[in-house]
Structure formats: structure tokens, C-alpha cells
Chains A and B, each alone.
Chain A
């Protein structure tokens, strides 16, 4: 099954088994390994990406349903050699420790900054993203810091 999709602005043609997970196509076929696998069953959020403007868990998207879609992963956030303001904030505030949850955490936070009306607060926005290291406090502080940058700009 031939499938075209766009990842971080680049067009690809792939021929995977139709139920292969978008997560595995990203990592194995297209070498976008920033997206991580955690639980593989839709609980932890490590594999979060944005597909056609909505937040998705790439472990739950069969590649046949990603045909023609535009996918943004953690690698698609930095631009012109500059970190995204969320990446910069996570760096400065200690929002990342082991790093497995970080790409999904930052993608979900980036979605929240773009769609602040879809969640009541950072807690709800990141409710689908689990972290076993930080206790969340520094993640929330990172998002707040990036968010205040956003309001100044």
C-alpha cells in the first residue's frame, strides 16, 4: 500500500503494512526518532504528535489513516536554528530529566499554547502525558515560562 504523507514539511512516499503504527513509520521508515514510544497503548502520551492540526497519539494511528496528512513532530518545532520557546523554557527550567516524555510533553504544550481554549489549564492540557521523573512541577513551570513569553511577543 503506497501512502504519501508530509512530516515536518517534507513529503514522503512509503509502502508499509497498512496497520503499521504512524509511530513506527516515523521512527523506522523515515528516521524521525524524536517521537518516543512509552506504553504503546494510548495511556502515556510519549508518542504525541500533531496531525492535520490536531493532537494525536502516533501509537494509535494506523498508517492507512495518515495518508495525505501533515504531521508535525518534536523535530518540526525548532526553526532557523533556533529552539522553539517551549524547548528553550524546558532547557532553562529543568523541565526535562530522562527525556522520554519530553517530546510528547512539548508537543502537547505547543498545541495548548496555540489552542488555549481547549483546556482549562496546563494540567488538563498535559493530562495525557505522563512523566516519571520530574513530578511535573518543573514541566508546568517551563510551560508557564514559555506561555508568558508568548503573551509578550
Chain B
């Protein structure tokens, strides 16, 4: 096998290695990369094994905001108390794959893999997550909602690695919604998915809303136009109908091995209706 591995023991040495060889491929839980490697679709390369970097260790720190170290797994979140504040993270973790995937796969890896069908990224994006990146030249943060530019294109330079993911603690009153539509409940890749959050006032006026979709665009899509349509409006059946039509202009679903454009459009509209109706006129 023409694959080599570097295993640095400090973030500084990892960043030095990346600075001198930008072709290094960061390796965390390996649940995506081992599939590509076994399928023979990976060109010979050297991996940068991140598992020994204590700076990326799976801490789940709650301190006005939530910080997930880059090596935090889905299982880490399911077993932690942070799910009380961020319930969608636990729901997403549960559907990303079976337990043996949850114990190895990482949230940061889900971001860096850049799949439009990622299950963890929509939940993170709906919680206004920021991605912390480090290189030899310094550190910066990027809002996850601005991280993707196209299919598998993202705002990460080859000399950077993700060190952490941060999210503000949600204010009281938000309702969360996460629904993945796949061929079966567990261990499936989504045909469409909605991670939604909504904050209504006592009159059911939409104070704020987040709607993030998977598998209906070249990358995880935050539907800012449909959110804008809803914000400040009274949540009525008519408005919900408007939202199900508005979302059609924002998504770009395709026919592929898992579904069709027509099915994805119909079911995505149904998810929008289900989300808003669950939190709106009928509650």
C-alpha cells in the first residue's frame, strides 16, 4: 500500500508538518477515509494522524458557549450532558450511523469531509456553529454557514486543520426539529434532511428561525431566504404554505442513486410543513 502516516504528538508539530507538506491528509476517526481507501479511489498519500493531539482532545466544555474539541465523537456527545442544551446534536449523532460508527466518527471530520449528505453538519449549522482553524501562521474562526463554497469546496486552506467547533448556548424558548429521510432509520444516507430551530413569541410571531438542509444542494444548505420570509411574521397556515413554496427556489436537488429531484422537492416541502406545523399553529 502506498500510504504513509505521520503521527505528531503536539499541535505545533502537526502544523509544522502541514506547512512543509500541504498534501498531507488529516485523519481523525477514519470512517470516511477508510471507505475511499478500500474502494481504491484515494491517490497514494501521507496521512496526518490527529489521534494523539491532546490539544484536539474530545472535551465538551460548556461556558456560555459549547466547545467541541476536534476529536469529539458522536458517542461523546450522546453520553454527555450537553445534549440537554443542544438536543439536535444527540438526535443527529444517533442517526449518523450505528453505534460502531458513532464511537469513531468525529463532528469535525463530518465538517471536513464536506459531504452534502452529512448528518452532523446541519445540526451544528442550525446552532450557529463556528469552525476554529489553526495553521503555522495563526488561528481563525469561520461561521460554519459560510464554510462551504461548492461541492466538497470549503474555506479550509491545505495548511490548516480544524481544532474545535464552538456554538453559543441557545436562549430559552427555541424549539428544535431534526428529521432525516433515508431508506431506513439507521445506517442510511439521507435523501433529504431538515435541521430546524424556531423561536416564537406569545402571539406566535416568528422572532427567529434556522432551517438547514442536507442532500438537496451541492453542500449543506442554510435556507436564508426562506428564513427571511418567516422572520417577523405571524405563523399561520398560509405562511407555512408560502415557506413550502419558497424553499423550492433555494434548494437544488438532483437525481442520483439514492433518490430523485422530484421526490426530494416534494419531501423537503413536507419537512418544512412538518417542522413549522409542529411548532406553530397547532401547538
- Residue numbers of A with Cβ under 8 A of B are 1, 17-21, 40-43, 45, 48, 54-57, 59-62, 64-65, 108, 111, 118-119, 124-125, 127-129
Complexed CA–CA distance, A111 and B186 (Å): 18
Are the CB atoms of B101 and A42 closer together than 8 Å? yes
Q: Which 5 A-B pairs have the closest CB atoms?
A: A128-B98, A127-B186, A18-B5, A54-B103, A19-B3
Q: When the two chains form the complex, which single residue of A18, A45, A60 contacts B34, counting CB atoms closer than 8 Å?
A: A60
Are the CB atoms of A17 and B3 closer together than 8 Å? yes
B contact residues, total (Cβ < 8 Å) = 29
Interface class of chain B by DSSP = mixed
The closest CB in chain A to the CB of B45 belongs to A19
The closest CB in chain B to the CB of A111 belongs to B99
Q: For B104, what are the chain A residues with a Cβ–Cβ distance below 8 Å?
A: 54, 56-57, 60-61
Q: For A119, what are the chain B residues with a Cβ–Cβ distance below 8 Å?
A: 99
Are the CB atoms of A125 and B99 closer together than 8 Å? yes
Any A CB within 8 A of the CB of B30: yes
Are the CB atoms of B99 and A118 closer together than 8 Å? yes
Any A CB within 8 A of the CB of B86: no
Complexed CA–CA distance, A1 and B79 (Å): 34
The closest CB in chain B to the CB of A58 belongs to B100
Per-position 1/0 for B44-82, Cβ under 8 A of A: 000101010000000000000000000000010011000
Other A-B pairs beyond A62-B47, A118-B99, 5, CB < 8 Å: A1-B5, A64-B7, A118-B79, A128-B98, A128-B101
Q: When the two chains form the complex, which single residue of B4, B35, B39 contacts A18, counting CB atoms closer than 8 Å?
A: B4
Are the CB atoms of A127 and B35 closer together than 8 Å? no
Q: For B5, what are the chain A residues with a Cβ–Cβ distance below 8 Å?
A: 1, 18-19, 62, 64
The closest CB in chain B to the CB of A43 belongs to B187
Q: For B34, what are the chain A residues with a Cβ–Cβ distance below 8 Å?
A: 21, 42, 59-62
Q: For A62, what are the chain B residues with a Cβ–Cβ distance below 8 Å?
A: 5, 27, 30, 34, 47, 49
For window 1-48 of chain B, which residues contact chain A by CB distance below 8 Å?
A: 1, 3-5, 7, 27, 30-31, 34-35, 37-39, 47
Q: For B103, what are the chain A residues with a Cβ–Cβ distance below 8 Å?
A: 54-56
The closest CB in chain A to the CB of B39 belongs to A41
Any A CB within 8 A of the CB of B87: no
Any A CB within 8 A of the CB of B185: yes
Any A CB within 8 A of the CB of B232: no
17 A-B residue pairs with Cβ-Cβ distance under 8 Å, sorted by A, are A1-B5, A18-B47, A19-B37, A41-B35, A42-B97, A45-B100, A48-B100, A55-B100, A56-B100, A57-B104, A60-B30, A61-B34, A62-B30, A62-B34, A111-B99, A118-B79, A127-B186
Complexed CA–CA distance, A125 and B35 (Å): 22
Are the CB atoms of A20 and B38 closer together than 8 Å? no
Q: Smallest distance from the beta carbon of B100 to chain A beta carbons, Å?
A: 4
Are the CB atoms of B39 and A54 closer together than 8 Å? no
Q: Smallest distance from the beta carbon of A111 to chain B beta carbons, Å?
A: 7
Are the CB atoms of A59 and B38 closer together than 8 Å? yes
Q: For B27, what are the chain A residues with a Cβ–Cβ distance below 8 Å?
A: 62, 65
Q: When the two chains form the complex, which single residue of B47, B49, B78, B97 contacts A128, counting CB atoms closer than 8 Å?
A: B97
Complexed CA–CA distance, A108 and B37 (Å): 25
Are the CB atoms of B1 and A19 closer together than 8 Å? yes
Residue of B31, B104, B185 most packed against chain A (CB within 10 A): B104
Q: For A42, what are the chain B residues with a Cβ–Cβ distance below 8 Å?
A: 31, 34-35, 97, 101
Q: For A124, what are the chain B residues with a Cβ–Cβ distance below 8 Å?
A: 186
Complexed CA–CA distance, A55 and B98 (Å): 10
Complexed CA–CA distance, A28 and B92 (Å): 36
Q: When the two chains form the complex, which single residue of A1, A17, A57, A65 contacts B100, counting CB atoms closer than 8 Å?
A: A57
For window 97-117 of chain B, which residues contact chain A by CB distance below 8 Å?
A: 97-101, 103-104
Q: When the two chains form the complex, which single residue of A1, A59, A61, A127 contacts B98, counting CB atoms closer than 8 Å?
A: A127
